[in-house]
Every structure is written in C-alpha cells, then in structure tokens.
Chains A and B, each alone.
Chain A
C-alpha cells in the first residue's frame, strides 16, 4: 500500500465533512481582503475617509468568524489523524513483535514506535492542513477577484496555474530524491556506528585506513544525494517565479489597458493585493508544506509500511510423544549442517540431557524440536510441549499473570503449589504474594528463571524443554527445580549447563560439530571422545575458579554466550 492510500483509507467520512464545512468561513478573509482594500482606497481617494476605514475595519469581524471555523477545523483534523495513528501503532507493535518472534535482530522498534509514528502523525496533519489552506486561500482569492473584476483573472490565472502545475509535476522527482537522501543518511549512520564502535579494534589491527574507507563511500554517497536534492529546490524556485511573480508582472503591465476598461485605482490595488497577499503566500505555504511535511510523510510512512505484519504461525503440537526422525538442520543452503541425521524420541517418563561445547547448536536443536525451525531434511513430530529458554521472560504485571501465562485461570492453590515445587515459593512470598506487581528490571536473572520455571511446571503440556533455563540458579536450587520436573508426569529435555544436571538425566545427547551421540553416562564414556574430554575438563577445573561463583563447573562459558549461531 502506498503512504497516500494508507492515509486516505483511514479518513473517517464524518471527520472529513466537518473539516471541509468548517473551512468555508476561513475562505472569507481571503476573499474579502482585496475587495476591502479596493473599496477603502477608492473611498479614501474620494475624501470619504470614514467609509474607507469602515471597509478596512470589516476585515476584523470576518477574521473572528474564520477563527470560529478554524477551531472546529482543528478538532476535525484530530478526528482524522488520531485513528490513523492508532492503526499505525498497532501495525508497528504487531510487526516488531512478529519480527522478534521470527528471531530477527531489531533495535529500531522503539524508534519506529515513538519517533517515526510521531513524524507520520505530525506530517499527515500538516499535509491535510496545508492542502486545505491552499484550496481555501485560492478559492477565496478567486471569489474576491470575480467580485472585483473578472478581467483581472485573465492576467493572474494562467501563470498561477502554470506555476502550481509545474510544482505538482515535480513532486514525484523531489520525493524520490528526498527518499534517496534519507536512505543515504541512514546507511551513513549505520556504517559510522560500526566503525566508531570498532575504532579500538581497527587501530589494534592496523586497519585504520580500511575502516576509514568503509565510511568514506557512504559519506560521499550522502553528499551526492544532498546535492541531487538541491536541484529540486531550483525547480521549486522556478515554479514559484512563474506562479507567484509572473501574475504580478502581467497585472502591472496590463494596468493601462485595465484602466481603459474602467477599472478604478482602488480595484487595481485590490487585484495586486490578491496576488501579493493571497496567492503568493498560499503557494509558498503549499510548496513548503508538500515539500517538507509531504515528503516526510511519504518517506517515513513508506518505510513503516515496508515492515510487514506477518503473525507467526502458532505451532501447537499435539500428543505426548516428541520424535525426531533423521533430522538434518542447516542455516542456509551453503552452510554446514548444525546437526545431521539426528533421531531421538522423548515420551512419558523420559529424561534427556543435551550437552556440547558452546555454539554447537544446542539451542537450535531445541527450536527444531519445538517446531519453531524447520529441519532441512527429516521429520519432527512435535508434541504438545513447553519451551523455557535461557533468557526467562517476565513481564510487568502481577505475579499471578506471570505464573498463569501458560495456564490461564489456574487457581491460587495450583499456582502456589507449582511455585513451591520448583523452589520459587519463597520468591513469591518475598514479592508480596500472587497479586503483587512484578517489575522485571528489579529481579535478578535467577529470580526471573524461577518464575519462568514455575510457569512451565504449571503448563498442561506433557513435554517440557528447558534450554539452559536454570543457568542463573545455584546448583542446589537447580537440582530442586530439575527434580521437580523429573517427577512431573510427561517427558523432560534439559539443555544442560552443568555436568551435575547432565548426570541426573537417564539419557544424554552429546552434540559436537561432527555428529551426535546418544547414550547413558557409561556408554558415552566409552564411545564419545568429546564426552570424555568434557567430563575431564570439568573435573579438572580447580574449585577455586573465579568463574564458578557456584561450586559446580559449567561448560557453556559466559551466561550470555551459551548457544549457537541461533538468535538467542
């Protein structure tokens, strides 16, 4: 959809009508100005000063009348703009959320929601007003000129129309160039941002020149886009010369001819007044408005509309048995698979741990098993399951809303029991009970994980997948939580963060670059070199190691960098 179509589609008929009708009084001062000047001058010249003054003074009540209209017009404008802004906010929220769910990195969501939506709101209003002002102004002048002397129209009309037509015709070009300039500016900011952030790295690698060259292109492109834009300013100035100044010159040159046809000096002055005080400002406003607000509107809204809202297809598995058959997954057609020909099944009573070095694709596997990523080949039978990722999601709402997220309507006894089971009972009390409002920012990472665990425990899904969902808990608390899940009816998959949690599982899947091995502890010690290596490296990590603030070593490195080239 084009920005213009979007704007027009969201106009309410009632608001438009009100907007237009209340504009009529506003044409009055524009229509009257020249006539008032003409009549007053003629009266002054004839020595009837009081009548002359009365004509001028008449402008004031007419302005008052137009002020009443202006007030209603602005309200109508609000009724036209606000619904459109609402819809835009809905779209931005919907598309940003959808993109995030699709795993796309996106740091522009807030800027789109606050800055860009506001630019569209302001410029849409500006656009409507400026167009209306122009129409009202021109209609007013037209009426005034007709009342004054139709002959004047003959000299004023054609050049004015020509200038306006030329300007309107040049709008497309201006819009394209403006858009190019905005894009160039964004590219420049993006490149500069990386290079500035990486200045230390560039200097250390002796690549300062290379890094400067990375920005040099965008700088020059941006300057070229700005220079290209200056030509559109030239075109606009030319159009104004034709539409704004030519009528004045034509009228001046025609003065002897017009006086010959009986025009009074006052009427000549009135005609000139219409051009200089009516048409010129109207045209100037239109140019500034369409050139400024109009371009901002089309460019900004155009970019917002590019963000498509494609709500993610909800993958709701069914059944109690999750199965992967000969599954291979790769991020792209040209990339090495993350895992190859993997088969496993998890049903009632199963407890599987997945281990492997960081970045090997453990989280990716969790996403594939949940049906959130499609395997390149093979088949996944997605069960009714719940996935709790490493970064626990707690939102600003009551504890109850947070806990009952996956089981709406659960009663207090059930909520409290679940919290107690995973070891979050004390936390719920500390927070002030189920009705207390949670501020996620004030919770520690571990406290957030406890809430997410209680939530998963409550879920009616038979299969639970914990993707390092306990990594911020100390080993004792982790054990309590995992044991609770192990006792829970259904199957459990734990992407393990610590050796201890892997050893609690009945079966262990070892992922490494080459392939995957499935077995129990004893069997893997025998068959998997990586497993032996992992076990020994963990066993030999001295207890004093500063990284394990906890007593149990981990293999997933820092808590932030746990898992694969997946967008986690």
Chain B
C-alpha cells in the first residue's frame, strides 16, 4: 500500500514539474518577445500585443514563484522521510563511513538542495534563452548591433577580471582574527566552573576579546578592497548599453531602424549582458547534483532484512555456529545455555564488539549462523526478535522527549519506572528537576547515568540480553548491585567486559583472541593460563 501511494505521489510530482517547466518556458519566450513588441507599440502599432505579453509573463512569474517553492518543499520532505527510514533500517556498521554530522547535513541542508535539482535543470535550460536569444535578435535586426554588443561585453569582462584575488587575501586575515576569538571562547567555556568559582568573568571576557581590534582592522581592509571593485563596476556598468545605443542611433539616423527598434535594441543589450548570471545557475545545478548523489549514496545501502518466523518456546539458548566476519572474526563457534550468563573477554581489537552486534543482530555475519533457540536470527520477524533480544552499549545514545520516553521508546511492553528501578537508575532519575518527565535536554548525565538508562531500555528483553561494555562507567557498588539484579533475571546474558569481577561472576567465559575463540570455560579454569590473565592487565 505504501508503495502504491508513493507511486501516485511521484506521478503527481512529475505532473507538477511539467507544469512548472511549461509555465517557465512560456514566460521566458514572452519576456524575450516583449522588447520587440514594445518597440512596435512605440512606433504606433500593436499595443495590445505588448500588454498581452506583459500579462503572460506576470502570470508565469506568479505561478512559478508559488509552484517552485511548494514543489521543492514536498520533494525535500519526501527525500528526508526516505533518508531517515533508511538510516533506521540498515546495519549501523554500514554507515560507519558517514559521521553523524555528515548524515544530518544530508537530511537537513542537502535534501533541500537535491530537491532543487529538477528546477536547476529547467532554469538552466530556460536561462540560456534570454541572453542568447537577445544576441540573435539583435543580429537579425542589424548585424552591426550584434557586433557592437559583443564589443561592449568584451570590454566589461576585461575590466572586471582583475579584482577577485585581492578580496580573497583580505578575507583570509579576517578569518584568522575571528578564529582567534572563537578558540579563546571555547577554551574559556571549558573552564566554566573554575571561572565561576573564581569570579573572573570580566577578566576572561576581555581576554577572549583581545583579538577584536585586529578583527576590526582586517574588516576595514575588506571594505576598502570592496570599495575599489565597486567603483570599477560603476564605471563599466552602462558600457554595453551605451555602445549598442550608439550603434543603433547611427542606424536610426540612416533610417535603418525606427525609434521603437532602437528602444528594443537597448533592452536586448541589457538582457544579453545578463549572461553572467547563468554561472550562478550552473553553480546551483552542480550543488544540486552533488547533493543528489550524496543522498543516493545513503539510500543505496542494502537494509537489514527480517524474516517472518516466530521463536519457539525456549529459554533463550544462544548459539554461534562457524561465524565469521571478514577481517574480524573467523569460525567462531560456541553456545550459551538458556538462562545462563557468558562473559566475552579479549584484548581490544579481538572482535568483542562485533560479536555483540552479531548476537543482537545489528549486523549479519559474512559466514556461519547465529541462532536463538535454534532459529537463525535473520529468519525471525522484527517485532519478535527485538522483543526477545535487548542490547545495551558502552556509550548509549538516548532518544526521546523525556527520560521516561528514552526508556520506553514507544514500546507498550516496557515500563519505564520498573526498568529504571531494576538497574538502579530510579534514584538519580527522581532527583532530576521533573523526575521521569524531565526533558532529556535538561538532564545532562554522566557516563554512568546514561549507561544505566541504556540498560533500563534493554531490560525488558524476554530471552537474551547483550551488554557491550555497558557498565564500564559505573562505580563498583552500583555495578555489583546491577550484577546481582542480572543474576536474578532469568534471561541469557552475553556480557562483553574488561572487568575481571564480571568474568568471575559469569557462568561461562568466551575468550576471544585475534578474531577466533581461544577457549570457552569458567573463569576459574582459565585463570591458570598466563595468556588469559594477561587479557586483564
């Protein structure tokens, strides 16, 4: 059904685009024909035609000014929805090449730019018409007018060549002074508590503002450069018009042109000189095209697909069967009996986090199978899988309007207070300004606090909890208490950890080394191996 409405929408937007293109074309031709019609009207015949052309070009302008904005707004919204849906449905590791800020800029700014692509193409095509058409019309009226026009344009280009370089130098000095202030400000803001306690606000502000004088001096230099170039522009501005009018005037004197023709020639000279504006359109088109290809780069990533199966009744037995991930894991095979806990240990870079992602099905292996209660994870339906498996991270990102939302995330089966209490987050949540209803933005949290909310969010998983270093920022006492709560919960736990105490408490230790399972056993049994002890050094 979704695809159906999508197609209807696209068909409708095609129609809108065609309308905009037609109206634009009509308007452009009308404005190109207008000087000629005005000339006729001046010479005493065809006032109606001129008025008609003016009316047509106004109507086309009116339609365009509304339709282009509305169309672009809708097109941008469609792109944004698609991007967000895509980002939320691919394996996170596939987007590692796109930093968050970069993805957000694709969703916000670049979607707008890409939505302009269609118009940029239309306005480029239509934008060439008036200047080129003007030159042609001038030449048809009399070839000498065309020559005069080209000579005028040549002169202007020569004069305007010389500025841009000096302007660049001046603005570089300005930016240096500006970043100087920005750097000092950033530095002072990191020392906010020291400054507040020491009462040195005024002194700090003045210290930050020390480069301001230099900024002013550089700023004035920029204006001087601009003043010079503007003066040059003022000299050459009317050049083309004067040259064409002079040529036309001579033709008028020899009765080769009528006064109306002369007026039209002057008008065409001005329209023709607008050729420079096209570079702007070209730049816009280039931006739109690059934005489109950047958006497509995200949309083309294959999404994580889900199956349709339900899980059979079971205790949550987790099984890795010959699992490999290119360059990270090789032939990983082990099983965690339902209801028991397994600690995954290993030096950094041994593939622990990838293992956690596989167990939580945030990615699929390149070879082998991960099974939960005997069913390969990719065959399980999304709803069933996510209810059964929960995952908590070392650095959780909390989503939602309030603290309570951040735990519940719109899932009916999750009770925020219950989950928070279980992971000992309740105590600090109720100390926030509005308790569970505190907006996340107003609840700056330490690493340990965020970790506990991240844990609360995953707590209600029915069969398997995957903890990827998820308690690393907690103090010992809290971690111990959560450890006890974990023991009491009758779910399978896969715990990635650096901590020796966590490994000690687990029923089973999976020891990863260089992407393979070095050994599986109890902590006590493995402790005799020096290489195992070295993992915790």
Contact = CB atoms under 8 A, between A and B. Distances in A.
Do they bind each other? Answer: yes
9 contacts: A56-B249, A201-B396, A205-B457, A207-B411, A211-B88, A216-B84, A226-B76, A387-B194, A555-B476
B198 to A, nearest CB: 6
A308 to B, nearest CB: 14
Contact of B185 (A113, A206, A273): A113
Interface stretch (A58-66, A413-421, A422-430, A520-528): A58-66
Contacts of B85: 212
B259 A266 contact: yes
Given A110-B182, A387-B197, A561-B448, A196 B227 contact: no
B249 A52 contact: yes
A533 B88 contact: no
A534 interface: yes
A166 B180 CA distance: 45
Contacts of A206: 382-383, 385-387, 411
Contacts of A245: 54, 58
A361 to B, nearest CB: 7
Nearest to B199: A314
A475 B368 CA distance: 48
Given A67-B234, A557-B473, A53 B246 contact: yes
Contact of B234 (A26, A241, A334, A558): A26
Contact of A331 (B246, B433, B472): B433
Interface string B472-508: 1111111010000000000000000011110000000
Which size bracket describes the interface of A in this complex? 35 or more
Interface string B233-271: 111011101100110011011000001001100110010
A154 interface: no
Interface stretch (A3-11, A248-256, A318-326): A248-256
Interface string A190-203: 00111111111111
A75 B253 contact: no
A409 to B, nearest CB: 13
Interface in A86-127: 86, 89-90, 93-94, 96-98, 100-103, 105-106, 109-110, 113-114, 118, 121
B411 A332 contact: no
Contacts of A78: 219-220, 222-224, 227
Interface stretch (A479-487, A500-508, A540-548): A540-548
Interface stretch (A36-44, A144-152, A167-175, A345-353): A36-44
Contacts of B228: 71
B242 A56 contact: yes
B183 A396 contact: yes
A545 B235 contact: no
Interface string A358-396: 111100000100101000000000000111110111111
Given A234-B62, A357-B475, A212 B409 contact: no
Contacts of B451: 561
Given A41-B262, A358-B475, A200 B73 contact: no
A388 B537 contact: no
A226 B69 contact: yes
Interface centre among B89, B242, B396, B449 (most CB of A within 10 A): B242
A110 B249 contact: no
A17 interface: no
Given A93-B208, A199-B87, A201-B399, A336 B74 contact: no
Given A192-B108, A391-B190, A227 B410 contact: no
Task: For the complex of A and B, list the 5 residue pairs with the smallest distance between their C-beta atoms, beginning with the closest.
Answer: A206-B386, A393-B191, A332-B433, A561-B447, A78-B223
Contacts of B89: 203, 208
Contacts of A219: 77, 80-81, 84
Nearest to B431: A336
Given A67-B235, A110-B185, A388-B194, A359 B448 contact: yes
Contacts of A236: 65
A342 interface: no
A359 B449 contact: yes
Which DSSP category, helix, strand, loop or mixed, fits chain B's interface? helix
B297 interface: no
Which DSSP category, helix, strand, loop or mixed, fits chain A's interface? helix
Nearest to B178: A114
A534 B270 CA distance: 84
Given A63-B234, A101-B195, A387-B194, A359 B446 contact: yes
Interface centre among A372, A558, A564 (most CB of B within 10 A): A558
A29 interface: yes
A269 B262 contact: yes
Contact of A269 (B80, B263, B386, B474): B263
Nearest to A396: B187
Interface centre among A40, A64, A101, A568 (most CB of B within 10 A): A101
B245 A71 contact: no
Interface string A244-265: 0100110011010000000001
A537 B220 contact: no
A337 to B, nearest CB: 7
Given A86-B216, A335-B431, A557-B472, 5 more contacts: A63-B238, A68-B231, A73-B227, A230-B68, A547-B498
B190 A358 contact: no
Which size bracket describes the interface of B in this complex? 35 or more
Contact of A114 (B50, B182, B226): B182
A250 to B, nearest CB: 11
B266 A37 contact: yes
A405 interface: yes
B310 to A, nearest CB: 14
A312 B473 contact: no
Interface in B44-96: 44, 47, 50-51, 54, 58, 61-62, 65-70, 72-74, 76-77, 80-81, 84-85, 87-89, 92, 95
A544 B235 contact: no
A311 B195 CA distance: 12
A452 B432 CA distance: 31
A89 B181 contact: yes
Interface stretch (B14-22, B99-107, B138-146, B513-521): B99-107
A339 B385 CA distance: 42
A95 B252 CA distance: 67
Contacts of A253: 47
A32 B444 CA distance: 66
A561 B390 CA distance: 24
Contact of A198 (B41, B241, B398): B398
A316 B194 contact: no
B238 A202 contact: no
B399 A47 contact: no
B252 to A, nearest CB: 4
B362 interface: yes
B33 interface: no
A305 interface: no
B423 interface: no
A410 interface: no
B179 interface: yes
Contacts of B445: 565
A97 to B, nearest CB: 6
A209 B253 CA distance: 77
A147 to B, nearest CB: 18
Interface string A427-456: 000000000000010000000000010000
B231 A195 contact: no
Contacts of B454: 201
A10 to B, nearest CB: 13
A229 interface: yes
B178 A372 contact: no
Given A41-B259, A109-B189, A265-B259, A557 B447 contact: yes
B428 A226 contact: no
Given A93-B205, A334-B435, A547-B499, A201 B234 contact: no
A246 to B, nearest CB: 9
A232 to B, nearest CB: 9
Interface in B181-211: 181-202, 204-205, 207-209
A568 B224 contact: no
